[in-house]
Amino acid sequence: MRWYAAGAIELLRDLTPARRKSRYGDIDYDFEHGVDTTWANVSLRTRLRELLSGGQYQPSEPALFQEILNSLPVAVDGFTFIDLGSGKGRTLLMASEYLFRRIIGVELLAELNEVAQQNIARYHSERQKCCAIESHTGDARSFEFPREAVVLYLFNPFPEYVLREVLANLHGSVMAFPREVYVIYHNLMHENVFDEQAWLRPVQRTHQFAIFEAAVRDL
């Protein structure tokens, strides 16, 4: 209940003109690529649904996203990139500038995922290296992780209880089909949940993000 109350207060703050204007700070990305990925034009109806579902869409900042991916301890060639809570799909588009095998987004709210699919269809960039991009509407807790090397991206999209369930599902998948898996956690609000995961080994941490490697074989 405390989480929802805090979310409601933050939502009211976000509706003020000053806060809405600040959310357009990285709109250059949209202009450059002909897409719609900013937060500022998300409808109030969708924002309320986000609050009730326990998440809040916020696009990743391009320069920081590059820093995060460049901090991975392996080359991403052949990995599958997964963003759970992918919103309008900006992270999926930015990931396409790397040599991932394929890119998958999962978003709970259908209206955000519809925008993401439109963005994928009209995105253009000379730097694009992966064109196998897909975005789906669904609950991250029901997502079946593919049996291949994975880079999982989480921009703090869930409340703590959902994050626990997602990580438990990933753990079960890695135990059943051992493979290389890296988890990127951006915005360290529930970092305590990761501290409890003995099967995840921290390999990088800053005040903005942390990267973990699945180390199931060592347990």
pLDDT digits (tens, 9 = 90+) for 72-131: 999 999 999 999 999 999 999 999 999 999 999 999 999 999 999 999 999 989 999 999
**Rounded to the nearest 5 degrees, what angle is found at the Cα of 53, between the Cα atoms of 51 and 58?**
60
- Residues 168, 142 within the same domain: yes
Q: Are residues 34 and 94 in the same domain?
A: no
CA 142, CA 165: separation in Å to the nearest integer? 9
182 and 79 fall within a common domain = yes
pLDDT of residue 5: 45
CATH of the domain at 188: 3.40.50.150
The DSSP code sequence of 54-86 is: T----PPPHHHHHHHHHTSSS--TTPEEEEES-
DSSP 30: H
Report the range out of 1-5, 8-12, 56-60, 137-141 with the highest average pLDDT.
137-141
Give this prediction's pTM.
Answer: 0.84
pLDDT for residue 21: 43
Give Cα 183 distance to the centre of its chain: 10
Domain extent, residue 11, equals 2-53
Q: Which pLDDT does position 56 carry in this prediction? A: 64
Let me know whether 32 and 82 are in one domain.
Answer: no
**Cα–Cα distance between 28 and 38 in angstroms, integer?**
10
Q: What is residue 134's predicted lDDT score, i.e. its pLDDT?
A: 98
Which element (helix H / strand E) includes 35? none
Q: What domain count does the chain have? A: 2
Q: Which of 12-26, 29-43, 103-117 has the highest mean pLDDT?
A: 103-117
Question: 84 and 35 share a domain?
Answer: no
Q: Can you tell me whether residue 126 is helix, strand or coil?
A: coil
**Cα–Cα distance measured from residue 35 to residue 29, given in angstroms and rounded to the nearest whole number:** 8
Residue 82 sits in the same domain as residue 182: yes
Q: Which residues of 80-110 are buried (b: 16+ CB within 10 A; e: fewer)?
A: bbbbbbbbbbbbbbbbbbbebbbbbbbbbbe
Do 13 and 79 share a domain, yes or no? no
90, 166: one domain: yes
Mean pLDDT of 19-30: 61
Task: Supply the pLDDT for residue 44.
Answer: 55
Domain end, chosen from 28, 53, 78, is at: 53
Q: Is 156 left (phi over 0), alpha (psi -120 to 50) or beta?
A: left
* CA gap 219, 198 in Å, rounded: 8
Residue 58: C-alpha distances to residues 19, 88, 191 (Å): 13, 9, 19
Average pLDDT over residues 199-207: 96
For residues 144-151, average pLDDT: 98
- Same domain, yes or no, for 131 and 186? yes
In three-state secondary structure terms, 36 is coil
Of residues 92, 108, 71, the one with CA closest to residue 182: 71
Residue range 159-165: average pLDDT?
Answer: 94
